[in-house]
Structures are given as structure tokens and as C-alpha cells.
Amino acid sequence: MSITLHTKTQTFEIGTSDFFRSFFDSIDYHLTRRFFDKKYPTILGEFQQGYLTFNNLDKAEKELRLSQKKLDKYNPSELIWDKYNLGKKPPWGDNISKDITSLSNYFVTSDGKDLFGVIYEAIEQAKLEQCDLKIE
């Protein structure tokens, strides 16, 4: 099943639900030490649950920028595919592009775009439209 982000007028392709969950699991596991409600409450709370309210778009963007910067310190081999099964690996295993140098640039959408960039673009569009951002 493919995940997309939606504003009132635009759709942004993400990828599979396992892929998107891995994005959140990697942030949670490496950056929060299981205290997600304190460090990244908007992206690991509201956003991970399927939406960002218009009022929280700026907070989410700040949290995402901080997490992206911090994920740059982690090697691609440190990907968390499933935080409840740490031995689980993505379907492609370790066969990744040489362009992927850290977890900050590991996540690439199904149409080949940087996931952080796509989320930032979707947030900016939601701000322009003054609407919530939804995950479907």
C-alpha cells in the first residue's frame, strides 16, 4: 500500500507504509531514547498518527530539521526498519545506493525524491493553503 501526503489541492508520494514507519522508528530509536513525547512530540505524535494540524506545521518543520541534522551522524547500516523487531531488515537488505551516506539521506520516496525534502514541500504547501496535512 502506498502512502501519500495530502493538502487541499496537492498530493505528495511517499512510498510503502513499512518504509514510512521505518522513518519514524529510526527517529524514535536513535534520537529520543523512547522519550518521543518530550523531544519530537509533533512528528512522533500527531504526524505519525496521520496528520499535522495547520497550527502545528511550524513545530513539525522545526522538529524535522533537527532530526534530519542529527540523523546525519548515523550510518545507513543503523537503519531501524522495525523498532519492535530490531533484527528485521528492509526488502532490499544492504543493497543501497552509494549516494546514501547517512540516515539523513537514506529515506528516498518511491519516485526517487529525498523524503525530508518532500515533507518540507508538503508542509509549505499546507501553509500556503492554510490547511492540515494528512497522511493516507
Structural domain containing residue 90? 2-135
pLDDT at residue 33, rounded to an integer: 73
**Residue 112 DSSP code:** S
Residue 127 to residue 78: CA distance in whole angstroms:
33
Residues ≥6 apart with Cβ < 8 Å to 128: none
Core vs surface per residue 55-81: b (16+ CB within 10 A) or e: ebbebbbebbeebbeebeebeeeebbb
CB 66 within 8 A of CB 39: no
CB atoms near residue 119 (< 10 Å): 24
Residue 21 to residue 128: CA distance in whole angstroms:
27
Residue 1 pLDDT more than 80?
no
Q: How many domains does the chain have?
A: 1
Q: What is the mean pLDDT of residues 9-33?
A: 94
What is the value of pTM for the model shown?
0.93
Q: What is the mean pLDDT of residues 60-87?
A: 95
